Structure 1
Amino acid sequence: MRAVLCKQFGPPSSLVVEDLPSPVAGPGRLVVSVKACGVNFPDTLIIQGQYQFKPELPFSPGGEVAGIVKAVGEGVTRFKPGDRVIAATTWGGYAEEVVAEAARTLPMPDGMDFATAAAFTLTYGTSHHALKDRAVLQPGETLLVLGAAGGVGLAAVELGKAMGARVIAAASSPAKLAVCRDHGADELIDYAAEDLRERIKALTGGRGVDVVYDPVGGDYSEPALRGMAWRGRFLVVGFAAGRIPSLPLNLPLLKGCAVLGVFWGAFTRNEPELNAANLRELMQWVGDGRLRPHVSARYPLERAADALDDLVQRRVHGKVVLTTED
């Protein structure tokens, strides 16, 4: 089988594609013939040795795949060869075949194509956990999403609307904001051309926003925190801008607001039953048409470095995926 390999930590250009033996399913695991693999920001970190997990070299990046079960290991009863599935793998997905834990695998909904399925779990799982479990977002509240045209950001926009919130989408260009509007955003902020804090004030009549969803970090976190309403919740999702901000802790004191960390991967391991219930709810919402995953580009395995580079350079709207078939 072909696989994209990280043989030494470095930038996307250091990745190579090689032929490897097919993997074998151990107890509680299954082998998935990968049809598509989502490309996510953690992939750019894990190949540089900067992620929370550091697999032994060499390894393939790729934390979410969609494909067909090829083989099952001892004790696996929920799946059989031929089943269409979505699996969370943390790494290993940039390949034609991957071993997945049965406990972190779920059936693909009827009618969902492989590319959409591979673009769904991590982004919507992260954003759903953030808004439902961490922020406890309520109908009628105002949600501000930073980096709103990215994978998790666009998922947060859609989920915020599905949960009954008024959604303000903030992104860095009119083209990105147009995608956000198409996916349900009520208000838009171009923070490359507008003052983020002043626009929050204007759009909320000076009250501020109830929830901030921040996967960006950098220079945007503090003005967003300053734009919080009383008893607001600030969600720390990631640092796509590259810099982890230092926030003045007098702001949560003055606003009576909470700063909440969001780590979906750890949540899936520590609270698997709640995660499974969340995923069932998400699949129901997809079936109801309330969510529309946006795949803006598809790349073959051989162009994995291009896909990651586009992500790093923030040229991606929604999600991009790698595919194993022409």
Structure 2
Amino acid sequence: MQAWQVHENGEPNEVMRLAEVARPTPGEGQVLLRVRAANVNFPDALLCRGQYQVRPPLPFTPGVEICGETEDGRRVIANPVLPHGGFAEYALADARALLPAPEPLDDAEAAALHIGYQTGWFGLHRRAHLKAGETLLVHAAAGGVGSAAVQLGKAAGATVIGVVGGADKAAVAHELGCDVVVDRRSEDVVAAVKEATGGRGADVIYDPVGGQAYAQSAKSVAFEGRIVVVGFASGTIPSPGLNHALVKNYSILGLHWGLYHAKNPKLIQHCHEQLAELAAQGVIKPLVSERVSLEEAADAVQRVADGATTGRVAVMPRNGAVA
């Protein structure tokens, strides 16, 4: 079978190599899946760079989110078990963690309903307890993680402010349903949020970016607001001023979605059921901006790493299909 492999750490387009390799053999509790679609996530770039919290042995195949098909023909979504990731014709997954692919979604959309939407659901509902009528601020609102949070925020009845970088991404954020869109390249984010909220600030801030975005969040959060720290796509991990959180009465909430697999896996299943119902109602629909061939996977990972994409980019192996 064909699979992309990383033999040394570095930039994705420099270290990912497409090779002919043996089909992986499932271990105890694992299942072999035919990959129908594999979505590109920022952690794939971090894996290539050797900067992710999980460091699989070299060589490994990246690709942390797939829609696959079991040997008995079931269409499922899964997080592949590294080193046998999803940018390949076949991948391995934990049999207990398989989730049914929602029928209304095609393969690429089904794969995209997993990491980004589960992260959004846990961040907004489990951690921040977002309520209808509140204001939600989403950084990188046109990206894969951000676009999921925008849709989930709207589904929860929140007013959503999306922060983006550039006119093209602003247009995407408007299409996603953001009530207010702020282009950080041409606007003062803090001033724009204050204006949009009558000076009060945002009740919940969803931040997968870190760095300057977090600094803006601390200045834009409302009294008793909640900042959900999701990741650091900017490459800079902020050092929050806890004295500022104290005097302004806001909460800083960490979210490591993967930890729920170990600490409370039943919540993963419950979350998926909620997401599948929203998808069936047409309330949420993953934004898949591109579908590329397996041969184009390294370029796709690099573009995601560079912040040059919107929504999700899906890699479609030749043996994959659109449902």
Normalised by the size of structure 2, how large is the TM-score?
0.95
Calculate percent identity across the aligned residue pairs: 42
Match of 2:37 in 1: 36
Question: Match for 1:88: what amino acid?
Answer: N
Question: Match for 1:41: what amino acid?
Answer: F
Structure 1 residue 158: deviation in Å?
0.3
Q: Is the 8 A contact 2:202 2:225 kept in 1?
A: yes
Q: Of residues 282, 299, 319 in structure 1, which corresponds to 2:312?
A: 319
What stretches of structure 2 of length at least 5 have no aligned partner? none
Match of 2:17 in 1: 16
1:84 lines up with 2:75 in the alignment: yes
Q: Secondary structure at the match of 1:155?
A: helix
Structure 1 residue 214: deviation in Å?
0.4
Question: Match for 2:78: what amino acid?
Answer: A
Match of 1:5 in 2: 5
Question: Match for 2:267: what amino acid?
Answer: L
Whole-angstrom distance in 2 between the partners of 1:225 and 1:241: 16
| Alignment map for 1:80-229 (pairs within 5 Å) | 81-89=72-80, 91=82, 92-229=85-222
Q: Is the 8 A contact 1:23 1:99 kept in 2?
A: yes
Structure 1 residue 25: deviation in Å?
2.5
Whole-angstrom distance in 1 between the partners of 2:81 and 2:22: 20
Structure 1 residue 26: deviation in Å?
2.9
Q: Secondary structure at the match of 1:242?
A: coil
Whole-angstrom distance in 2 between the partners of 1:316 and 1:229: 31
Q: Is the 8 A contact 1:64 1:90 kept in 2?
A: no
What are the superposed Cα offsets for residues 198-242 of structure 1, whole Å, 9 maximum, x if unpaired? 111111111111001001112121121111111110011111111
Whole-angstrom distance in 2 between the partners of 1:206 and 1:57: 51
Whole-angstrom distance in 2 between the partners of 1:244 and 1:65: 28
1:250 lines up with 2:251 in the alignment: no
Considering only aligned residues, what root-mean-square deviation do their CA atoms show, in Å? Answer: 1.2
Q: Is the 8 A contact 1:62 1:90 kept in 2?
A: no
Match of 1:235 in 2: 228
Match of 1:286 in 2: 279
What stretches of structure 1 of length at least 5 have no aligned partner? 71-80
Q: Is the 8 A contact 1:226 1:251 kept in 2?
A: no
Question: Match for 1:244: what amino acid?
Answer: I
Match of 1:74 in 2: none
Whole-angstrom distance in 1 between the partners of 2:112 and 2:272: 14
Structure 1 residue 111: deviation in Å?
3.5
What are the superposed Cα offsets for residues 79-108 of structure 1, whole Å, 9 maximum, x if unpaired? xx1111111126411111111111221111
Whole-angstrom distance in 2 between the partners of 1:240 and 1:28: 33
Q: Of residues 302, 305, 309 in structure 2, which corresponds to 1:309?
A: 302
Q: Is the 8 A contact 1:217 1:244 kept in 2?
A: yes
Whole-angstrom distance in 2 between the partners of 1:109 and 1:275: 15
What are the superposed Cα offsets for residues 25-83 of structure 1, whole Å, 9 maximum, x if unpaired? 2332211000110100011101111101010111101111112112xxxxxxxxxx111
Q: Is the 8 A contact 1:3 1:17 kept in 2?
A: yes
Whole-angstrom distance in 2 between the partners of 1:198 and 1:44: 33
Whole-angstrom distance in 1 between the partners of 2:218 and 2:41: 25
Q: Secondary structure at the match of 2:70?
A: strand
**More displaced 10-residue stretch of structure 1: 268-277 or 147-156:** 268-277
1:45 lines up with 2:36 in the alignment: no
Q: Is the 8 A contact 1:196 1:224 kept in 2?
A: no
What are the superposed Cα offsets for residues 137-180 of structure 1, whole Å, 9 maximum, x if unpaired? 01111000001100010000000000111100010112111111
Match of 2:267 in 1: 274
Normalised by the size of structure 1, how large is the TM-score?
0.94
